[in-house]
Structure 1
Amino acid sequence: MPAVFVRGDLFADSTLDALAHGCNCAGAMGKGIAVEFRKRFPRMFAAYKQRCEDGLFTLGDVFVWKDEGRTIFNLGTQKTWKHRAELDAIEKAMRRMVAIAEREGLRHIGLPRIGAGLGGLVWEDVRRAVRRVGEATTVRLVVVETYEKGAPIEPAAI
């Protein structure tokens, strides 16, 4: 199903079945949208940090967390916060994510411009990878390309 690129606030939309974001593999969520995930899902952050410390979360991995009816996909996209995101790791993690989502019957996953902010990648390169993954799945990838605080995602996208 083709990915859609929208305006809005990832956290302001309760119609999405799941949320996803890129993570480093060192256990830090100190900047960018990761801070919001850490604040909103503190138990998820603690479990993610422990997985990283135990060496169980590496590039291309997916750590799935379920909390209060929401599924969160933490995608291993950077070795550490000091390193750039890796496009291959993003695509590998997203493919794993949609395979899990298909098995679990999830229909819509919201995600930010993964890897293109603090991850340092060129958004158009990442966007092409998102499109490739989207074309090979029945799960709708809803990418918040333009952030608007508090604004719900356009209903037509979901």
Structure 2
Amino acid sequence: MATMGFKYSEKRGDLFSSPETDALVHCISSDCAMGKGIAVLFKNKFGGVQELKDQGKKTGEVAVLKRGSRYVYYLITKDRYFHKPTYDTLSSSLVAMKSHCIENKVQSVSMPRIGCGLDGLQWDKVSSLLKDIFSDTDLSITVYTI
């Protein structure tokens, strides 16, 4: 089987207009509060807050919802909604997501500039993390900016 290799791109546009074949990703706290920022849009669009809580994921892990043929990844990057993530917790969550993507043959993922809105991480560092973590996969990652 020929491999495609890792692809990374950034584009302007609405994350939720990405192809339905793309998995979606964003960051939340382990308390699954989702009361601000893009998390509210995810909560309103996909629901499943109790389903996420029931997975009992801790900081540095990933919770997953399946909606139709699409996976929705919730990177658990901090304990409580008012905390700030670190590059280490984001990195651990991304590694956990990578494993799930490989096991479930996910080919493309769309995400906002994760960790960089209300969470305050620096995009140049986050984008480097993404490229480092996924460089050995055949995943295609598209980052949406408004």
TM-score by length of 2: 0.88
Aligned 8 A contact 2:20 2:70 in 1: no
Shift of 1:121: 1.1
In structure 1, runs of 5+ residues without a counterpart are: 148-158
In structure 2, runs of 5+ residues without a counterpart are: 1-5
Matches of 2:110 and 2:40, distance apart in 1: 17
Residues 61-76 of structure 1 mapped to structure 2, 5 A cutoff: 61-76=61-76
Matches of 1:40 and 1:34, distance apart in 2: 10
1:156 maps to what in 2?
A: none
Aligned 8 A contact 2:30 2:76 in 1: yes
Aligned partner (choices 13, 16, 27) of residue 18 of structure 2: 13
2:133 maps to what in 1?
A: 133
Q: Which runs of 4+ in 1 moved over 2 A?
A: 14-17
Amino acid at match of 1:46: Q
Q: Structure 1 stretch 107-116 or stretch 95-104: which is displaced more?
A: 95-104
SS at match of 1:72: strand
Q: Percent identity?
A: 30
1:117-137 Cα deviation digits (max 9, x unpaired): 111111211111111123121
Shift of 1:22: 0.6
Q: Structure 1 stretch 30-39 or stretch 132-141: which is displaced more?
A: 132-141
TM-score by length of 1: 0.82
Amino acid at match of 2:99: A
Q: Does 1:77 align with 2:80?
A: no
1:58-84 Cα deviation digits (max 9, x unpaired): 111111110122210111112211111
Alpha-carbon RMSD across the aligned residues, in angstroms, is: 1.5
